[in-house]
């Protein structure tokens, strides 16, 4: 099994009582797959997992597992500890765990390698390493990422370096069996141009089909479509990440009538109305025919 294409890291919608809106979650999950997403991510950082109770997390898992079973879709799950990984053993729909580089402690690159080697050896499912140094505080070089690719049980990388740098070029220059999924939404087009297999993109809650089309365009060599779509989708992602994720995404989905409230849980605060309006305009722009940009 390989990881490629678009994976949507699902939000956790809340109803007016503050409870998880499971019906809305199920609808959003189906809509993402209807639009061409290869799979879903449950309990990723976009889902606000640290603010969910254990019972809420289990309910989210029940919904996403059922949807992926019904749709024969791939399910990734955010799981960062041995205990969380063990809980996935009875979830046959889960193809991999999305596991972040240990944040805050900054163990060094050798420590990260040792950590993932042990975690992967004990995990009932393969790991997709989530490299996001501007949040974890731990930078990983291209050489270390290639060494991670050789760790048994590590099948992929969610690559979110915060831009394109020399190590990005070095990472893609050397062939590897590691599935590299772009995680910086704004930079997904250049990452695909360099050779990324796909993306785990919160922005793809909106314009899901556009992101699917972007990935397919780069993979098939349709560079004209890829460049035009890449520009539009980068503008959309910039608007959606103008405030902490997933506040703007939730505000836009609520404005579109797709979720009952735009609510997030502390420490997040709701998106500003002006930010929401800018993002809604960007969604509209993505939907325009590409030919209008060529003229």
pLDDT in tens, 5-61: 999 999 999 999 999 999 999 999 999 999 999 999 999 999 999 999 999 999 999
Classify the C-alpha dihedral 70-252-5-220 as positive or negative. positive
Going by DSSP bridges, is the β-strand pair 179-182/39-42 parallel, antiparallel, or unpaired?
unpaired
Q: pLDDT over 70 for what percent of the chain?
A: 98
Residue whose token pair is 């879709």: 73
Q: How confident is the model at residue 2 (pLDDT cuts 50, 70, 90)?
A: confident
Q: What is the DSSP string of 99-126?
A: EEPPTTT---HHHHHHHHHHHHHH-SS-
State the angle between helix axes of 109-122 and 142-149 in degrees (0 to 180), rounded to the nearest 10: 20
Cα gap 24→45, rounded to integer Å:
19
pLDDT value at residue 293: 46
Cα gap 154→254, rounded to integer Å:
37
Cα gap 286→203, rounded to integer Å:
12
pLDDT at residue 65 above 50? Answer: yes
Cα gap 26→15, rounded to integer Å:
14
Q: Which residues contact 173 (CB under 8 A, 6 or more apart)?
A: none
Q: Residue 5 belongs to what H/E stretch? A: strand 5-9
Cα gap 78→48, rounded to integer Å:
11
pLDDT at residue 111 above 90? Answer: yes
First-to-last CA distance in the chain?
42
Q: How confident is the model at residue 291 (pLDDT cuts 50, 70, 90)?
A: low
pLDDT value at residue 294: 43
pLDDT value at residue 163: 92
pLDDT value at residue 199: 98
Q: Which CATH class is domain 5-220?
A: alpha beta
Task: Find the mean pLDDT for residues 185-197.
Answer: 97
Question: Are the C-beta atoms of 146 and 174 separated by less than 8 Å?
Answer: yes
Task: Find the mean pLDDT for residues 208-229.
Answer: 97
Task: Find the mean pLDDT for residues 236-240.
Answer: 98
Residue whose token pair is 């609520």: 254
DSSP state of 272: P
Task: Find the mean pLDDT for residues 152-165.
Answer: 95
pLDDT at residue 4 above 90? Answer: yes
Question: Are the C-beta atoms of 167 and 211 separated by less than 8 Å?
Answer: no
pLDDT value at residue 239: 98
pLDDT at residue 78 above 60? Answer: yes
Q: pLDDT over 90 for what percent of the chain?
A: 95
Q: How confident is the model at residue 290 (pLDDT cuts 50, 70, 90)?
A: confident
Q: Between 177 and 259, whose confidence is greater?
A: 259
pLDDT at residue 212 above 70? Answer: yes
pLDDT value at residue 69: 97
Dihedral through CA 175, CA 179, CA 180, CA 182, nearest 10? 150
pLDDT at residue 292 above 60? Answer: no
Cα gap 56→12, rounded to integer Å:
10
Query: Which residues are the active-site residues?
Result: 130, 158
Q: How confident is the model at residue 269 (pLDDT cuts 50, 70, 90)?
A: very high
Cα gap 130→202, rounded to integer Å:
14
pLDDT value at residue 229: 96
pTM of the model: 0.96
Cα gap 166→191, rounded to integer Å:
13
């Amino acid at each position: 099994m390989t990881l490629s294409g678009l994976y949507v890291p699902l939000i956790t919608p809340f109803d007016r009582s503050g409870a998880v809106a499971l019906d809305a979650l199920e609808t959003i999950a189906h809509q993402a797959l209807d639009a061409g997403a290869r799979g879903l991510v449950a309990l990723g950082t976009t889902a606000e997992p640290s603010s969910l109770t254990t019972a809420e997390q289990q309910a989210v898992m029940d919904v996403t597992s059922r949807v992926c079973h019904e749709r024969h879709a791939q399910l990734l799950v955010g799981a960062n500890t041995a205990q969380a990984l063990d809980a996935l053993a009875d979830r046959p729909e889960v193809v991999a765990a999305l596991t972040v580089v240990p944040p805050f402690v900054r163990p060094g690159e050798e420590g990260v390698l040792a950590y993932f080697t042990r975690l992967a050896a004990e995990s009932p499912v393969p790991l997709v390493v989530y490299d996001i140094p501007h949040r974890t505080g731990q930078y990983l070089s291209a050489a270390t990422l290639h060494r991670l690719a050789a760790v048994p049980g590590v099948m992929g990388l969610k690559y979110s370096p915060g831009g394109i740098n020399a190590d990005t070029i070095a990472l893609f220059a050397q062939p590897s069996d590691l599935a590299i999924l772009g995680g910086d939404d704004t930079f997904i087009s250049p990452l695909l141009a360099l050779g990324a297999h796909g993306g785990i993109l919160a922005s793809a809650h909106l314009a899901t089909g556009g992101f699917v089309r972007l990935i397919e365009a780069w993979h098939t060599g349709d560079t004209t479509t890829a460049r035009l779509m890449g520009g539009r989708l980068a503008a959309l992602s910039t608007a959606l990440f103008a405030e902490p994720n997933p506040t703007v995404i939730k505000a836009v989905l609520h404005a579109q009538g797709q979720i009952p409230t735009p609510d997030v849980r502390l420490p997040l605060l709701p998106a500003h109305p002006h930010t929401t309006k800018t993002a809604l305009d960007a969604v509209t722009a993505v939907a325009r025919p590409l030919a209008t940009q060529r003229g």
